[in-house]
Structure 1
C-alpha cells in the first residue's frame, strides 16, 4: 500500500509539478535531487498520491545504460553534434494511479536551479514571469518540452507485431 497515512517526511521537498488537467503528452515534471532515483521514488509516490490515487504502475522510457539528456548543453548551445551522433532522449515516467495517470519529464538532477525550475513550470503549463518569458531559459524549457512531447508520442505508439 502506498497511501500510508503516516508517511515519512522527505528530508528535501519533492520537486514535482503537475498540469491542472492530466492526459496530455507531458503532464508535468519531476526533478530528483540526486541521480539515485530509486531512493527518491517513495517521496515522489507520496507527493502524487493525492492527485493520482494509490499508485498501481510506473513505467520509464530508459535503461540503466542510457545517458541523460543534458539540458545545460541545450541551454548554452555550447556543444555541436558530431556526424553520426544522436541526441539523447528525454527521460519520461508514466505513473498510473487508481484515479488518474500522468506522464512526467524527469529533469536531470545536475540541472541548474534556474533552468530546472523553468522546466518544472513549463512542463506543468504554469506561467513564467514576464522577465523570463522572452529569455534564454524559457526558450530552452520550451525546446526541452517539445523534445519530451515528441518522445512521449513515440513511446506511446503500439509496436508492430
Structure 2
C-alpha cells in the first residue's frame, strides 16, 4: 500500500539563490499557489532556511494579492505587512528581520502557467 500524496498547495514553491557568490539583488524566487497572502505567507516562512533570522516585517506589491491586511499572526508572532503600490516594478517580497538581515524574493504570479512558472524558477540564478 502506498502513502497518499501530500497536497502540493500545503508547501511553498520556493527557490533560493545558491550560497556564496557575493551580494545579489534577488535572494530567491517564490511562486505562491493563490493570491491569498494570509494563506501563502505562513507556507513561505516555514520553507525558509533556519539560518535566516525571525522575519518580522514583509513588504509586498499590494496589487499581487486579493486582500492586504496590515498585520497578521503567523507562527505565534505578529507579522507586520507593508504594501508597495508600484505598478511597473516587478512583484517582489522583501523579508526583514531587524538587526539580522533582509532578503528579497521575486514573486511569480500565482496564475502563471505551470511550464512557464517552472521555467522562471529554474532560470532565476542561471549565470550568463
- Shorter-chain TM-score bucket reads 0.5 to 0.7
Find the aligned partners of 2:54 and 2:64 in 1 and give their Cα distance: 30
Number of residue pairs matched by the alignment? 99
Gap regions ≥5 residues in structure 2: 1-6, 66-86
Find the aligned partners of 1:122 and 1:65 in 2 and give their Cα distance: 21
Question: Cα gap change, 1:18/1:65 in structure 2, threshold over 3 Å: closer, same or farther?
Answer: closer
Query: In the alignment, what sits opposite 1:157?
Result: none
State the shift of 1:42 in Å. 0.6
| Counterpart check, 1:112 vs 2:113 | yes
Query: Normalised by the size of structure 1, how large is the TM-score?
Result: 0.50
RMSD across aligned C-alpha pairs, in angstroms?
Answer: 3.2
Find the aligned partners of 2:64 and 2:26 in 1 and give their Cα distance: 24
Query: In the alignment, what sits opposite 1:31?
Result: 31
Point out the structure with the larger strand share.
Answer: 2
Find the aligned partners of 2:56 and 2:119 in 1 and give their Cα distance: 29
| Counterpart check, 1:92 vs 2:95 | no
Gap regions ≥5 residues in structure 1: 1-8, 67-86, 128-141, 143-161
Do the aligned partners of 2:10 and 2:43 also contact (CA within 8 Å) in 1?
no
Query: Normalised by the size of structure 2, how large is the TM-score?
Result: 0.62
SS in 2 for 1:55: coil
- Rg bigger for which structure? 1
SS in 1 for 2:41: helix
Of stretches 94-103 and 30-39 in structure 1, the one that deviates more from structure 2 is: 94-103
Equivalence map 1:4-23=2 (5 Å)? 11-21=9-19, 23=23
Point out the structure with the larger helix share.
Answer: 1
